[in-house]
Chain A
Amino acid sequence: MSKTIIATDRQEIDIKACFDPATGIVDRRIFSDEAIYQKELQQIFGRGWNFMCHESQIKTPGSFFMNYIGEDEVIVVRDRKMNINVLLNSCPHRGNTVCRAELGTTKSFFCSYHGWNFDLDGSLVGMPGETEFYANEIDKKAWGLTPAAKVENYRGFVFATLDPDAPSLDDYLGWVGRLSIDFMASKGELEFLDGVHKNRLKCNWKIAVDNLFDWYHVKVSHGTAFKIGLVAEETMAPNRQMVMLGEYGHGIGGPGITEAEQAEFDARMAGAAGEHQWYDRSAELRQDPGVRQQLGPVGTRSFGHPNIFPNLWVSLTNQLCLRIPRGPFETEIWWFNYLPKDMPEADRKYAIFGQNHVFGPAGILEQDDGENWSHSTRGAKGPATKNLPLNFSMRLGKDQVLTDPSGQSRIETVVNEHGQRWTYQSWQEWMLAESWQELMANHSMPPQGTV
């Protein structure tokens, strides 16, 4: 019997039925349903560790950078003790924002409505009429700006969570999340550059996120980049892939080389004969024994795209891409740019050239993504199309997880959708858990054996 396409929505969508790990089928309504979106803001963005900025962006007391946790605006600010605070940008008197700039330096946050004034750690300093109108009865300790529950950094990358029950950042990231940042931090001390490329897409945030694991779209969506010689096809879209999956939804997916290829590369670098390979430029950056030590024997061979769940893509192009939700049908894309502090001037110019021309709204590669993601989102809200399944089955049941003696487990395969399936499976677990305690108790460990 065929299933009817048009259905009458009678009840709340069952999250348990939204993703089937056995088939890789995803319910499209997770990209369009308003109730699901509101729940994501609470249970994923409100609970998780969200990337705020790098500590080099706010070096001096009073310097601040504005970011978001879900749809809540937060001020990330360095105080006089050099601590980094993350404060909800909302005055406790009427709710007004107390900071309107994206970045800058200030002595305090002064509310433009009635003049309540807050220190760099969020504490209430005073307000007009404290004695005359309030008779000194405002408990200033109780009426400061609300800080994030926890602020921690890993190698200078600052994260915050609104949930006091969240595990430490280190535990949250696990080895896959830490490796994602180690790819960058192993290059030496990093300096974030002035200027974040920002634009808005009419897509659901998860469609942007799942694309970073998607090495299937590259030759089609970005086919023009090869044709005009911006980048070689074999370098940009190799079939050889490696996937690493971590607790709570973190993952790294993309190009990777085999142990044999690594050995061949090392021999060639040591003087043996051999031809230039597609992975040379990536492997050249991983020759330093200290770097290899930090990345581990498997991590050294991965040149993939990491996602720190939920929405931080760490790109090997010295960039970070944050996908900030703006409703079920809109996402803000922020590209942060950074470079190793001691990078030679010529390399710097070349790196900045890449940062300005590949991604971002005018990027020669990324400009072709937006409409695909927006129209995929549109396909999740048609009265008929929203009820049709989406197929995420590529390489399901076809690959093995291998674990290195170092503990680094990975899948070595061809183009696949393991990273996307892991994202949606983890998303489902986050959405089903009522608390961090439940999520910690019930979330899946990264798979072993056949995947």
Chain B
Amino acid sequence: MTTYADLSPQARMLLTFEVQEFLFHEANLLDSRRYAEWLEVLADDIHYWMPIRRTTQAREVHLEFTQPGGMAFFDDDKGILSMRVQRLSAGRAWAEDPLSRTRRLLTNIVVTAIDGDDITVASNFQLYRTRLNSEEDEWIGRREDVLRRVDNSFKLAQRHIYLEQTVILAQNMSSLF
């Protein structure tokens, strides 16, 4: 099995470029409200997950995040993500009517593992949202994605989202991360 460290600098550069290109495109689909196209870049077996984070004593930092299979803000498969998208055009999805304005900034994109066609990528993000006249929300966090190489592109097979908030300081999380 090839690991990222085994790759030549040129190969690492190319891979990182391809990964970035995919992630920027994917973020742009969400920013542009092209949700149907966004669903198409998801693998059918995607796991989209955002655990609950807590303030703990430093020596109990292992309790900071809830565990997979337990309580979470998002624990979605493709069916649920499709439902979230379907909601938006179904009418009466008040959290998004009027529509939110969102912008996603991605940075610190690093390939952390390669397992066959699955490439694990860590990134930092900032999701800025405004609504109505003066509603403003901002989420910053880290994502651990798995990008699966399919044909000449990728499908997103995993997105684990770790927010820098414990109590969510927004009225809702109707945006996708």
Contact = CB atoms under 8 A, between A and B. Distances in A.
Interface size class of A (residues with CB under 8 A): 35 or more
A362 B73 CA distance: 6
B84 interface: yes
A352 interface: yes
Contact of A352 (B71, B87, B131, B172): B71
Interface in A58-97: none
B7 to A, nearest CB: 37
B93 A224 contact: yes
A116 B55 CA distance: 22
Interface size class of B (residues with CB under 8 A): 35 or more
Given A227-B90, A368-B94, A200 B169 contact: yes
A370 B172 contact: yes
Interface in B143-177: 166-174
A243 B167 CA distance: 33
Nearest to A353: B75
A370 B55 CA distance: 25
Interface in A184-239: 193-202, 220-224, 227-230
B63 interface: yes
Contacts of B92: 220-224, 227, 368
Interface stretch (A99-107, A149-157, A288-296): A99-107
A397 to B, nearest CB: 32
Contact of A227 (B70, B91, B170, B171): B91
Nearest to B93: A224
A195 B71 contact: yes
A193 B57 contact: no
Interface in B69-109: 69-76, 80, 83-84, 86-87, 90-95
A352 B71 CA distance: 7
28 contacts: A100-B55, A101-B54, A101-B60, A103-B63, A104-B60, A194-B67, A195-B71, A195-B72, A198-B167, A199-B169, A199-B172, A202-B171, A221-B92, A223-B92, A224-B91, A352-B70, A353-B75, A357-B80, A360-B73, A361-B171, A362-B50, A362-B174, A364-B84, A367-B172, A370-B172, A371-B94, A371-B95, A371-B171
